[in-house]
Amino acid sequence: MIETTEKLKIKFRDATIKDLKEIQKIERLCFKYPYPTYYMRALLETLADTAIVAEIENEIIGYIFARVEIGNIGHIISIAVHPQWRKRGIGTALMLEAMRKLKSLGCFLVYLEVRISNYSAIKLYKKLGFRIVKRLKRYYRDGEDAYKMERKI
């Protein structure tokens, strides 16, 4: 459990398949093109080495999925915080928790992709020590480019 600057008592725990409905709800609120349910289910069941939810008083308010890739490189697949709970340090806390877990799994580097228009996420990642290493042309379904960002852990 951590406390943010607002003294919110956030509990982290491993996500389970029982959390799928709530995770999907947040996914749909946060993204123009949310991941489909079958993919989120696959992440929870087999694809994510790190699947974490953030809760306040047993309510899921955010999640993060990450995996360990060949060469012990961590990949942040998806992170989202319910819009009502943003700007309170929850995204930062989820990222730190995921990087801690990835490091414990042997990762020395972590990367992610982010829309070039997602200024608030880019600012968060830079604050956490990530740097832009590549622009990925037409990465997203709607044709928008992404930045690949990475940092050592």
pLDDT in tens, 117-147: 999 999 999 999 999 999 999 999 999 999 9
Alpha-helical segments (H) within 3-153: 20-30, 37-42, 90-104, 119-127
| Token pair belonging to 151 | 């940092």
Write out pLDDT tens, residues 80-105: 999 999 989 999 999 999 999 999 99
- The H-assigned helical ranges of the chain are 20-30, 37-42, 90-104, 119-127
Count of structural domains within the chain = 1
| CB-CB contact of 53 with 63 (8 Å) | yes
pTM score, whole prediction: 0.90
**Cα–Cα distance measured from residue 49 to residue 105, given in angstroms and rounded to the nearest whole number:** 9
Q: Residue 20 belongs to a domain with what CATH number?
A: 3.40.630.30
Range of the domain at 38: 2-152
